[in-house]
Structure 1
């Protein structure tokens, strides 16, 4: 499976929706899209459609978390599936990343 990335503004937040597998091969596509679309300091990454994520995907999320925090903004993660949450727990980043249950919660 590949990766699909969509983007819109909702409630003042740039929401980037990701569907598919986020791994070494697909991370560059998401990285490019984030560079293009996240021009402000506030973004929500909707991972509800991500069925698989490797450490490459996690590294990208942590990089963008840092980058936006340095601008005085924030990156929120919305609706991750169980396998993505397990990766967050294994990497011990659950308390680093701002994870919300839904995109609406993340944009509130």
Structure 2
């Protein structure tokens, strides 16, 4: 069931959908927007056993500050026994994910609906 969403910053919208917390990143994710997003991301990734989706569908620009946000979110969710998924189709962002190796830790999916229908978790920690 979908619940009402909140936009804590112009670069992040948070909503609940089918038991998942969906963090929708929007616009340009750079060092300034990452600083705005980080406290909200931390709040949403602190719950035990959280099901989190990092949705980059609305991103126009994404730099290493955004990569740090993704890695931080993944680490926090998995350390608390949760599951985390990534939705991304932007070619340059996908390239950055592959080059840095983050795509292996957090495999990108092409659509939110695919993630919400997935029964087997992606991005589960197998070791440090």
Q: 1:29 aligned to 2:39? A: no
TM-score, normalised via structure 1 length? 0.87
Cα distance in 2 for partners of 1:86, 1:3 equals 25
Task: Work out which structure has the larger RCO, using CA pairs closer than 8 Å and 6 or more positions apart in sequence.
Answer: 1
Question: What is the root-mean-square deviation in Å for CA atoms of aligned residues?
Answer: 1.7
Corresponding residue for residue 75 of structure 1: 84
Aligned residues: 107
Deviation at 1:45, TM superposition (A): 1.1
Cα distance in 2 for partners of 1:43, 1:80 equals 18
Deviation at 1:3, TM superposition (A): 4.6
User: Hey, which bits of structure 1, 4+ residues long, moved more than 4 A?
Assistant: none
Q: Which structure has the highest strand share of the two?
A: 1
Between structure 1 and structure 2, the one with the greater Rg is: 2
Larger mean Cα displacement after TM superposition, 3-12 or 17-26: 3-12
Which 5+ residue runs of structure 1 have no aligned equivalent? none
Does the CA-based 8 Å contact 1:100-1:106 persist in structure 2? yes
Q: 1:10 to 1:103 in 2, by over 3 A?
A: same
